[in-house]
Amino acid sequence: MKTLIKCAIISLAFSFLLRGADLPTRVRDRWDFRYKGFVIGAWWGPSANEAELKFYKEAGFNVVMIGRYMQLNDYADIEKCLKELDLAKKYGLWVMFDTYTKNEHPWGGKAWSEPYDHPLHHAASLEELVWLYEKVGKHPSLLGFMIGDDQGEVSPRTSACTNFLFRQPKPHLMPWLCGWIPPRNLAEHNNPIANPQIYPTLYEWNLSADMLAIRYISAYASWTSECRKYGIMFWPMFNVAPPPGTDYLPSDSLTRFPAYLALVFGSDGIWYFCYNGGSLQRYGEYSSEEEVRKALTPLYPVVKKANNRIAQWGDKIIGRDCSAIYITAFEGNEEIKRVEGLRKPGKKELIEEMDKELIAGVLTKKGENPLVMVVDCRVSKNWGDIPPREVLLKFSPDVREIKVLEGMKTLSVRGNTVKIRLEAGGGQMLEIVK
């Protein structure tokens, strides 16, 4: 109990300091992270070898994890961790350090004085995190520490770990908590990131494809509203792991949809719950590029295309507000009617008309042209059975130019009407010039 009591005291003391400090209102603005761009991460991603890291880099991921999954039976081997960090640096990847370790192998060799919550492993205590910070905190590829998983609230331990990282001369390492923690609770403890696990295709595969898409829309809308209210970053973690009885998610459209949809709501990043084996690749590890290539599933090229497109747009979204969301999909569905913030195109709206089965988010920033992320809501539980299509959007009369943003290229369309080609579940970013 002594460690938990100590954590609680530190956390409580720091909360009083925060109340009296002259800090930015938004929690996210209090931190000065090493990487301020759009995060594209994979849980659990590549094994700790060059062959797999190279394929994840090529697939558009910019953040990978090291720690328990990469180390498996070599938990708490700090020398191996440093080698993994060096490999990530070689391939230009940021690292989130998973601080979980086996109970018999605590970081730094000092066991907790109280019983562990789990019979096999535990996340770093404050003392362990301090030790890790001293060992790897200055590594140039380190983005932050995962200090808790599957949590529904900020615990005394995770609050103390967050506060430790914030008290450093420059609060630049992310305190990452994964689970279902309400943004209000995160804000109360100065934690800047909401990373909710949103897995309808894993836990509700019995639903229709449309209902699975609606579940994503509903969850994203709710979380972004709360994150905006409390000044928290939003990283949705969505599922591409296989539902029961399948080898991988048997739907290209339901793989694309949650990734592109995150941009509609102006998220700050995305995380794939792919769990290595049976998702983007079959379980490894693999020592050669040829072995990796043979192990890739049909999900890999779908994710690669989506990620590399999203990577071109993601940094443009950071710092923008989602000022409006238009939808012409799932009309008549009772659940979609209950989602707050959705509106129909119409006169005196920025989008006056758009084809059926679309959702579009308007992303605004003072002094810059608005961006509009358009996503095709046609989805299926099967593979490749919905062809691409051309859709039309008509904007308000004061729009004089529409820029279709695609990689390093921009297609400029004069006037207020544009046609774009969309894959099922896919998306397109537009820039609106008035």
The string of pLDDT tens digits covering residues 173-223 is: 999 999 999 999 999 999 999 999 999 999 999 999 999 999 999 999 999
Are 336 and 275 contained in the same domain? no
Q: For residue 361, list its beta bridge partners.
A: 325, 373
Predicted pLDDT of residue 76: 74
Calculated CA dihedral for residues 300, 52, 59, 64, nearest 10 degrees:
110
CATH number of the domain encompassing residue 289: 3.20.20.80
Q: How many structural domains is the chain composed of?
A: 2
CATH number of the domain encompassing residue 373: 2.60.40.1180
C-alpha span between 307 and 262 (Å, rounded): 12
Provide the pairing of β-strand 63-66 with 94-98: parallel
Predicted pLDDT of residue 112: 76
Tell which residue, 157, 163, 154, 149, has the closest CA to residue 182: 154
What residues of the chain score a pLDDT lower than 50?
1-5, 7-17, 19-20
Q: Which residues contact 171 (CB under 8 A, 6 or more apart)?
A: 30, 31, 32, 165
Name the phi and psi angles at 396, rounded to 5: -65, 155
Are 237 and 332 contained in the same domain? no
Are 182 and 197 contained in the same domain? yes
Are 268 and 126 contained in the same domain? yes
Q: What beta strand segments (E) does 17-83 contain?
A: 39-43, 63-66
Other C-beta atoms closer than 10 Å to the C-beta of 337 total: 10
Are 310 and 362 contained in the same domain? no
Are 326 and 313 contained in the same domain? no
Cβ atoms of 359 and 339 within 8 Å: the answer is no
- Whether the CA torsion 223, 225, 228, 230 is positive or negative: it is negative
Are 89 and 50 contained in the same domain? yes
Q: Which amino acid is at 117?
A: D
Q: Which amino acid is at 324?
A: A
Q: Which class for 102: exposed (0-12), middle (13-18), buried (19 or more C-beta within 10 A)? A: middle
C-alpha span between 317 and 179 (Å, rounded): 24
Give the angle subtended at the CA of 403 by the CAs of 398 and 407, to the nearest 5°.
160
Q: Which of residues 263, 285, 317 is at a domain's end?
A: 317
Tell which residue, 205, 192, 206, 201, has the closest CA to residue 235: 192
Predicted pLDDT of residue 21: 54
**Integer angstrom CA distances of residue 368 from 16, 36, 135, 323, 371:** 38, 19, 42, 14, 9
C-alpha span between 270 and 259 (Å, rounded): 7
Are 356 and 297 contained in the same domain? no
Q: Which residues contact 368 (CB under 8 A, 6 or more apart)?
A: none
- pTM here is 0.93
Domain range enclosing 269:
2-317
Predicted pLDDT of residue 2: 47
Q: Which amino acid is at 25?
A: T
Are 44 and 139 contained in the same domain? yes
Q: How far is CA 266 from the centre of its chain?
A: 11
Strand order through the sheet with 417-422: 351-354, 389-395, 417-422
Cβ atoms of 400 and 384 within 8 Å: the answer is no
**Integer angstrom CA distances of residue 423 from 197, 248, 296, 310:** 25, 20, 22, 14
Q: Which amino acid is at 221?
A: A
Q: Which of residues 317, 339, 362 is at a domain's end?
A: 317
Predicted pLDDT of residue 3: 47
Q: What beta strand segments (E) does 19-173 contain?
A: 39-43, 63-66, 94-98, 101-102, 121-122, 142-151
Tell which residue, 91, 128, 98, has the closest CA to residue 113: 128
Are 65 and 87 contained in the same domain? yes
C-alpha span between 233 and 144 (Å, rounded): 15
Name the phi and psi angles at 13, rounded to 5: -60, -40
Q: Which of residues 284, 302, 317 is at a domain's end?
A: 317
Are 153 and 64 contained in the same domain? yes
Are 313 and 326 contained in the same domain? no
